[in-house]
């Protein structure tokens, strides 16, 4: 199975409104709710691709219960979340019906106690031996040590389990130094990590800092991969409008599924770029449009080498 870790899980709520106007009152015309947080989005896409996936992390309170009920309805996904005293956060994506543009409101996460973090650490060690790959995704809730991901990366490497990391800020900086197999920052996270705004230069710098491979998600420009096996860029055929929430998570699922299926890098990247693009027009954050994915997959242009970047 593939193991995903979501320390700051969320109940993702999507609202559709005719048009969001600051300081006005809006009647929400549609409400959708689903389990969220980057790692759970990754887990859902992996399950939809037919992989066995186990999701660990934290869930608590009323929102945690709603989230776990949502996970129970996902075939192929094993819920190994640990209960916590705090209340799982909500995120609200407000989608303008006219333009498809999205405004995001993210609650802060619950406070995690040292005992809760120790329980997660131990559960992770128990899950690693049966994992074919690990994804560490998203922000750290209050109370989790800033070196948490570095610790989890080292444990995965000690067990010879390939590990992908998708986070930002200081947790990313520390965990990169622990030598993860893949990091998947977006352009802003990569620039923050390295100080370089030019993605290729920044990705090379991130490799020097410890990452074996760097796959940067560059929004509508697709993916840039800098790996020991080569450099590629994967661009979706067209820019799609919609809700970009979960596009990066779908890319992570594409990369991980390609890794465990031992696909060559260009095929992994094509899959990741197509999955990523297929989430944008989906009505609910973190879902992907399967027909759209199949169609997009044929249209992704993967270009080889540095010159093309």
Query: Applying CB under 8 A, which of residues 2, 3, 17, 225 lies at the interface with a second copy?
Result: 17
| Site residue total, a second copy (CB under 8 A) | 27
Q: Which stretch binds a second copy (CB under 8 A): 38-46, 94-102, 154-162, 300-308?
A: 94-102
CB of 268 vs a second copy, minimal distance in Å: 27
Query: Applying CB under 8 A, which of residues 78, 82, 96, 212 lies at the interface with a second copy?
Result: 96
Query: Applying CB under 8 A, which of residues 52, 83, 103, 290 lies at the interface with a second copy?
Result: 103
- Nearest residue to 94 (alpha-carbon basis) of 173, 165, 28: 28
Six-digit token string for 65: 């219960």
Query: Applying CB under 8 A, which of residues 72, 105, 146, 158 lies at the interface with a second copy?
Result: 105
Is 107 a binder of a second copy (CB under 8 A)?
Answer: yes
**Of the two residues 93 and 163, which places its CB atom closer to a second copy in the complex?**
93
CB of 128 vs a second copy, minimal distance in Å: 32
In 153-176, which positions are buried (b, 16+ CB within 10 angstroms) versus exposed (e)?
Answer: bbbbbeeebbbbbbbbeebbbbbb
**Of the two residues 24 and 73, which places its CB atom closer to a second copy in the complex?**
24
> Contact 232/265 with Cβ under 8 angstroms?
yes
Q: Which stretch binds a second copy (CB under 8 A): 96-104, 118-126, 143-151, 221-229?
A: 96-104
CB of 24 vs a second copy, minimal distance in Å: 6
Is 66 a binder of a second copy (CB under 8 A)?
Answer: yes
Locate tokens 């990313």: which residue?
172
- Nearest residue to 247 (alpha-carbon basis) of 222, 228, 267: 222
**Of the two residues 56 and 276, which places its CB atom closer to a second copy in the complex?**
276
CB of 83 vs a second copy, minimal distance in Å: 17
**Distance, CA of 77 to CA of 236 (rounded, Å):** 28
Pairing verdict, β 53-59 and 77-83 = parallel
**Of the two residues 107 and 295, which places its CB atom closer to a second copy in the complex?**
107
Is 111 a binder of a second copy (CB under 8 A)?
Answer: no
The footprint of a second copy on residues 122-141 (CB under 8 A) is none
> Contact 204/211 with Cβ under 8 angstroms?
no
276 Cα distance to chain centroid: 10
Residues recognised as catalytic:
249
**Distance, CA of 227 to CA of 8 (rounded, Å):** 29
Is 157 a binder of a second copy (CB under 8 A)?
Answer: no
The DSSP-derived string for 111-146 is: PPPHHHHHHHHHHHHHHGGG-SEEEEESPPPTTS-T
Is 106 a binder of a second copy (CB under 8 A)?
Answer: yes
Is 65 a binder of a second copy (CB under 8 A)?
Answer: yes
- Give SS3 for 153: helix
Rg (CA), the chain: 18
- Nearest residue to 219 (alpha-carbon basis) of 194, 257, 258, 190: 190
Is 102 a binder of a second copy (CB under 8 A)?
Answer: yes
The footprint of a second copy on residues 21-50 (CB under 8 A) is 21-29, 31
Backbone angles phi, psi at 40, to 5 degrees: -75, -35
Which residues bind to a second copy, rule: CB under 8 A? 15, 17, 20-29, 31, 62, 65-66, 92, 94, 96, 101-108
């Amino acid at each position: 199975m593939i193991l995903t870790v979501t320390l700051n899980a969320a109940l993702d709520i999507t609202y559709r409104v005719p048009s969001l106007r600051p300081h006005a009152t809006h009647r929400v015309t549609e409400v959708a709710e689903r389990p969220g947080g980057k790692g759970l989005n990754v887990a859902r896409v992996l399950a939809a691709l037919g992989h066995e996936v186990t999701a660990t992390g934290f869930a608590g309170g009323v929102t945690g219960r709603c989230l776990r009920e949502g996970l129970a309805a996902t075939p192929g996904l094993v819920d190994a979340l640990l209960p916590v005293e705090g209340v799982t956060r909500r995120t609200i994506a407000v989608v303008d019906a006219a333009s498809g543009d999205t405004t995001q409101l993210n609650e802060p996460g619950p406070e995690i106690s040292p005992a809760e973090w120790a329980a997660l650490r131990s559960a992770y060690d128990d899950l690693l031996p049966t994992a074919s790959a690990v994804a560490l995704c998203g922000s750290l809730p209050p109370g989790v040590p800033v070196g948490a991901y570095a610790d989890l990366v080292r444990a995965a490497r000690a067990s010879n389990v390939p590990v992908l990391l998708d986070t930002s800020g200081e947790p990313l900086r520390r965990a990169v130094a622990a030598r993860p197999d893949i990091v998947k920052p977006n352009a802003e996270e990569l620039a923050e990590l390295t100080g370089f705004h030019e993605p290729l230069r920044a990705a090379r710098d991130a490799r020097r800092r410890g990452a074996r491979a760097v796959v940067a998600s560059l929004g509508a420009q697709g993916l840039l991969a800098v790996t020991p096996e080569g450099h590629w860029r994967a661009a979706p055929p067209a820019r799609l409008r919609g809700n970009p929430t979960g596009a990066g998570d779908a890319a992570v699922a594409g990369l991980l599924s390609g890794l465990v299926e031992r696909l060559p890098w260009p095929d992994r990247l094509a899959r990741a770029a197509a999955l990523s693009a297929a989430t944008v027009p989906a009505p609910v954050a973190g879902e992907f449009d399967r027909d759209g994915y199949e169609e997009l997959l044929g249209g992704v242009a993967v270009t080889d080498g540095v010159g093309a970047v």
